[in-house]
Amino acid sequence: MATKATVYKAELEISDIDRGYYATHTLTLAQHPSENDRRLMARLITFALLAHERLEFGRGLSNVEDPDLWQRDYTGIIERWIELGQPEEAAIRRACGRAQQVVLVTYSGSSAEIWWNKNERTLSRSKNLTVIDLDSVEVEATTRFLQRTMKLQIMIQEGCCQLLSGDESLSIHPRVRLAPTK
C-alpha cells in the first residue's frame, strides 16, 4: 500500500506592514511522503511572504505540472506561479510563459548558491521572474513550530519576517536574488 500524505492544519495571522496586507488564513497542508519538514515549512513561509486572498497550494510534488503555490484571478488566469527548490531552467521558462508573474524560492543553502550561479545568466532574461532565497539555517529552525495543528502569527516589516508561536519567536531574512524588470 502506498504511503499517504500527512495533513497539517495551520492558522496564520499575517501582518505584512511592507505591503499593507493584514489577514488570517486557515490552511490545510498535505505533506507528500517524499517531502521533508524543511520543505513543508518553506512552503508555509512562502505563503506568508506572498499572502493574498486567492493564493493557494498547488499539487506540487504529486503533480510536476502544477506549481507549489499559485494565485489565479476569477477567470482562472494564473497571476502568480510559485515554485520552491531548484527546478530545471526549462521548467521556469515554461512557467514564465504561463503566468503573469513567477516566483522561485530557494531554501537549501550552499546547493542553492551553486544552482543560482549556474542559472543566473539565463534566468535574468525572464522579465516576470522573482527569485528569493531563504536562509537554510533559518528554515531548519522553523521546523520546531511544526505540529499537526499550528497557530502562527507572522509580521513582515522591512523585508524581515518574524514568526511567533506561543512564547517562541524566530526571525527570517529572505534575500531577493532577482526582481522583475519593468
CATH of 6-178 among 1.10.1740.10, 3.10.640.10, 3.40.50.12160, 1.10.10.10: 3.10.640.10
Share of the chain above pLDDT 90, in %: 86
> Residue 152's pLDDT is what?
97
Question: CA 136 → CA 42, 108, 172, distances in Å?
Answer: 9, 5, 10
Q: From CA 97, how far away is CA 90, in angstroms rounded?
A: 11
Structure confidence at residue 66 (pLDDT):
84
User: With 90 as the cut, is the pLDDT of residue 117 above it?
Assistant: yes
Q: Which of 40-54, 59-73, 126-140, 160-174 has the lowest mean pLDDT?
A: 59-73
pLDDT interval class at 32 (50, 70, 90) = confident
Mean pLDDT of the chain, nearest integer: 93
Tell me the per-residue pLDDT of 34-74, one tens digit each, with 9 for 90 and over.
889 999 999 999 999 999 999 999 876 556 678 999 999 99
For the chain, give every domain's residue range: 6-178
* Structure-block grid coordinates of residue 59: 499539487
C-alpha cell at 142: 522553523
Question: Is 21:14 a contact under the CB 8 Å cutoff?
Answer: yes
Q: Among 13-27, 34-48, 61-75, 159-173, which is the least confidently predicted range?
A: 61-75
Q: Which residues contact 35 (CB under 8 A, 6 or more apart)?
A: 61
Q: Residue 125 contacts by C-beta under 8 Å, 6 or more apart in sequence? A: none
pLDDT beyond 60 at 1 = no
The model carries a pTM of: 0.94
